[in-house]
Structure 1
Amino acid sequence: MPVSYKNKVANTLEPSHHPYLNGAWTPNFTEYTATEMEVIGEIPTDIDGVYVRNTENPVQQPIGNYHPFDGDGMIHSMSFRDGKAEYRNRFVRTKGFNAEQEAGEALWAGIANNPELSKRPGCGAQGSIKDASSTDVVIHAGKILSTFWQCGDGYQLDPYTLEQQGTVGWAPIDGISAHPKVDENTGEMLFFNYSKYPPYQHYGVIDRNNKLVHYTPVPLPGPRLPHDMAFSENYSILVDLPLFWDPELLKQGRHHAKYYPDTPTRFGVIPRFGEAKDVRWFEADPTYVLHWMNAYEEGDELILEGYFQDQPDPEPIEGLPRAVGKMMANISISCFQSKLHRWRFNLVTGEVIEQRLDDRPLEFGTFNQSYAGRKSRYVYSVWGEPNWFLFSGMVKHDTDTGESWSLPFGEQRYGSEAPFAPRVDAKDEDDGYLVSFITDMKENRSECILVDAKDIEAGPVCRIILPHRICSGTHATWASGDSIRRYQDGEV
């Protein structure tokens, strides 16, 4: 397998029995560029673009207790064109990553520790941790944007080479949360952030040229922990969820998330370029939602789909020390029991109607992004390995008919979030591929798979073997080669 670039990053991480520092979560320290990889099957010629996945991948021996959300950002990419593919992986050279490389040790304690353990002032909504830029990833205005779940600077990379291109430059003082949303129909990107200080949340719009053109507070009653947002053609949807830092403990400098089951979920609907006075709040059943799917307008209604958690505060996994069991339960789909769900907001009467779309625990869904903000039909979710933050298979839903189709990844094979990649000259909504990185523990290797979205039960149409076994990761995205090249060639 030709490898044209190989670079091992200096690290101090020691071997560990921590459940998220070994097995399928064993960190990588070597960066590769690989072409002419072994292919099982044949790479289709009608796919053109880049699949990108972010990864929590720690480099330094942690200070105190390690949480898998503490790891440094590592971007893995597979680019496709003319029936060929190229693989790359690079650490995101954040300010924190560079500082720790220079120091040769960890400088910040993670989210499961006393803030006083950090050796330098931190950042993010919590205020004392490292902006690892390791959570989410999108491609906007021809550039990769990696972001951190507790808000950070936002780091850019070239989609094809993964060349580091620094921070976005327009990030507000409270940073950018994970899950900014790209509207492919307008070229705009919508984002939010949150903090421990009034008004506690802001919302903004970036234009197709990567310029901040709108920024407004969307006030909340106190510090909150939103994780995602959604948008329709005319509105953006932000949330006030009843799981947030305990206010009394927060006064003591302790960041303990607590669920308040008697407090409703609130949805803030704001016109895309609206201000605080324009926000309209809708109340619904209490829950926590990590990730939203599409939203669209239909008559007087605004319709939103996402993953309603039946157990936002799950009991610790039995047989483990309580702190470890609780940490593992909090990030396990099978424990917090997230179910595909639909909310309908009547913009005239204020009524909210909820509908369960599937009773199976599912999460980390994707859909055809060219339909974002407009009526769509198909959602592609994953299910998890029981008690673990690992993905064992995918499900395709037809939300119009209620039908679904499933694809298990196989024994000890764990996948990634699988974005939809439209075929070149696609004819309809599900005319394309689902793309995922798979870590195969039995074969001790990783691969990139393409699955025909019209027939996921047929399994992968091809499997591309990577030059190393990669660490399991979080969010992923897809962007067409045509759109990236138009930006890079200055045609937009």
Structure 2
Amino acid sequence: RAPGSGELVFVGADVMKKPYLVLGIVSADGAELKHKVDLKLDRSIICHEIGVTHRYNIILDMPLTSDIRRLITGSPLLKFDKGGYTRIGVMPRYGDAASIKWFDVEAYCTFHLVNCYDSGEEVVVRGFRAHESMIPGPDFGCHKFQWFSSGFNFKSADDDCNGNSNEGSFFSRLHEWRLRSALKKLMEIYMMNMRNYYLVL
């Protein structure tokens, strides 16, 4: 629910056709759909959560996608594309697709947000960020046991994953993005030493 107003902000997705992602707002008493807008994404993403601040809706556009056409070729419906673009959108509460300010970020997989809030000219987004998604699993032809074992081989929370492997890539670390809409500036930091606290996505 939106802080202050109590309105319910939600998204709905379609894996078959556009619009792939629609955002809606329901009145605090649940009696009225006050706003509904196509976010005009060009791919069907797995959007597990959105963020809500006093003024904005926060959209996570990460490269974990669903595409029914992949099934025709024998590929999985879901796929995490390491080379795909990743961005975070800041949208005014009653805005439309054209009003979203997008911030390009390093490729990640985030299913769960911890908090989002306005801080002066910045929007602060905190969530658990992993280098890769264990959903839907390895590509066909990969050794599943080796792939999963490597992803869970977590040696040090301070070490980045090797770009040539998925070692430790399933462990999520608490991450903070500070987005300054007016200047289109972005700052990212890890929130804590995840040797002591981590989640698996």
1:283 aligns with 2:104: yes
Change in 2 beyond 3 A, CA 1:246/1:204: closer
Equivalent pair of 1:339/1:361 in contact (CA under 8 Å): no
State how far apart, in whole Å, the 1-side matches of 2:59 and 2:180 are: 16
Residue of 15, 22, 34 corresponding to 1:213: 34
Partner of residue 24, structure 2: 204
Q: CA deviation at 1:251?
A: 4.6
Q: Does 1:302 align with 2:131?
A: no
Q: Which residue of 2 aligns with 1:236?
A: 57
Which of these residues, 63, 87, 103, is aligned with residue 266 of structure 1?
87
Whole-angstrom distance in 1 between the partners of 2:39 and 2:71:
22
The aligned amino acid for 2:173 is K
Query: For the structure 1 residues 247 and 266, does the alpha-carbon distance in structure 2 shift closer, same or farther, using more than 3 Å as the test?
Result: farther
Cα distance, 1:277 vs. partner? 2.0
**How many Å separate the matches in 2 of 1:303 and 1:340?**
13
Alpha-carbon shift at residue 313 of structure 1 (Å): 4.1
Counterpart secondary structure, 2:117: strand
Structure 1 position 337 matched with structure 2 position 158: no
**Given residue 52 of structure 2, which amino acid in structure 1 is its aligned partner?**
F
- Correspondence 1:81-480 to 2 at 5 A: 182-196=1-15, 197-210=17-30, 211-245=32-66, 249-252=70-73, 255-313=76-134, 322=144, 336-360=170-194, 383=198
The alpha-carbon deviation at position 344 of structure 1 amounts to: 0.9
How far apart are 1:280 and its partner, in Å? 1.7
Deviations 1:93-119 (A, max 9, x none): xxxxxxxxxxxxxxxxxxxxxxxxxxx
Q: Specify whether residues 346 and 383 from structure 1 end up closer, same or farther in structure 2 by C-alpha distance, changes over 3 A only.
A: closer
Alpha carbons of 1:262 and 1:247: their partners in 2 closer, same or farther (altered >3 Å)? farther
- In the aligned structure 1, how far is the partner of 2:77 from the partner of 2:193? 29
> Does the CA contact (< 8 Å) of 1:337 and 1:361 recur in 2?
no
- How many pairs were matched up? 176
> How far is the alpha carbon of 1:247 from its aligned partner?
6.9
Maintained 8 Å contact 1:310/1:339 = no
Q: Residue 227 of structure 1: CA displacement?
A: 0.8
Aligned-CA RMSD value: 3.0
CA contact (8 A) 2:121 2:180 kept: yes
- Specify the alignment match of 1:105 in structure 2: none
Partner residue in 2 for 1:165: none
Give the greater-gyration-radius structure (CA): 1
Verify the 8 A CA contact 1:230 1:292 in the aligned structure 2.
yes
- Aligned equivalents of 1:274, 1:361: Cα separation in 2: 40
AA of the residue aligned to 2:22: H
DSSP 3-state at the match of 1:249: helix
SS of residue matched to 1:264: coil
Q: Describe the SS at the equivalent of 2:109.
A: coil
Q: Which amino acid in structure 2 is aligned with residue 187 of structure 1?
A: G
**Deviation by residue 1:316-340 (Cα, 9 ceiling, x = unmatched):** 7xxxx948x85xx79xxx8611100
Q: Which AA in structure 1 matches 2:118?
A: E
- d(CA) in 1 for partners of 2:117 and 2:43? 29
Question: How far apart, CA to CA, are the structure 1 residues paired with 2:169 and 2:133?
Answer: 9
Question: Are the counterparts in 2 of residues 201 and 220 from structure 1 also a CA contact under 8 Å?
Answer: yes
Contact 1:234 1:271 survives alignment (8 Å): yes
Q: Is the 8 A contact 1:338 1:361 kept in 2?
A: no
CA distance in 2, matches of 1:217, 1:361: 40
User: Unaligned stretches of 5+ in structure 2?
Assistant: 153-167
Percent of aligned positions that are identical: 24
Shift of 1:256: 3.2
Residues of 2 paired with 1:190 and 1:232: CA distance? Answer: 10
Q: Which residue of 1 aligns with 2:157?
A: none
